[in-house]
Amino acid sequence: MKPRSIATRTGDDGTTALLYGQRVSKDHPQIAAVGTLDELNAALGFAKATRPAGTSPDELARIQQELVAFMGEVACAEVNAARYDESKFTKIDDAALARLDAAVAAIEARQPKFDGWATPGANLHAAALDLARTAARRAERQLIALPKEGRSVRPLLVQYLNRLSDLLWLMGREAEAGA
């Protein structure tokens, strides 16, 4: 049996498929939002790879898994939203937001030191976290623009990205302090 290729060639015409097969242009706002979430996931992978020795990758890995679920929901056409809601796909829920809130509170309780606005680059890990934070903010902007394009967005998704960017900012400041 011939191995399956990643090169399907179905996108050679400038289109790609949403979750349930609907074809849209590769510059469609939902595809742009999913692409930015994918970039955020890659940036989190970079931050995970640059973490100091002896620190756990678990929190960043969990967030990466949540982003995969997030991308699935955003990659679903409005006409298939109810179908997605009823599916067994993992979805971002209140517990995911609560975990981010708890992580923010835990770092704030440690009172990381920072002086005014952050200037990224104190060390590789802090810089990686700041790249992830800026990707999260861009994803948030793209997500809140989707309703203007006819795709509703659960408020929880916007809250999740907003909180995630806050967490990444705090993690960056904490990583700077360890420089």
Helix (H, G, I), strand (E, B), or coil: what is residue 169?
Answer: helix
pLDDT tens readout for residues 48-63: 999 988 888 999 999 9
Please report whether residue 133 resides in a domain: yes
The H or E element spanning position 50 is none
Q: Please report, for residues 13, 115, 116, the alpha-carbon distance to residue 100 in angstroms, rounded to integers and kept in the order given.
A: 40, 24, 23
Q: What are residue 52's phi and psi, to 5 degrees?
A: -60, 150
pTM over 0.95: no
Please report whether residue 31 resides in a domain: yes
pLDDT tens readout for residues 108-132: 999 887 776 777 888 999 999 999 9
Q: Please report, for residues 1, 66, 74, 124, 172, the alpha-carbon distance to residue 36 in angstroms, rounded to integers and kept in the order given.
A: 36, 14, 11, 22, 20
Domain count, the chain: 1
Residue 126 belongs to domain with CATH number: 1.20.1200.10
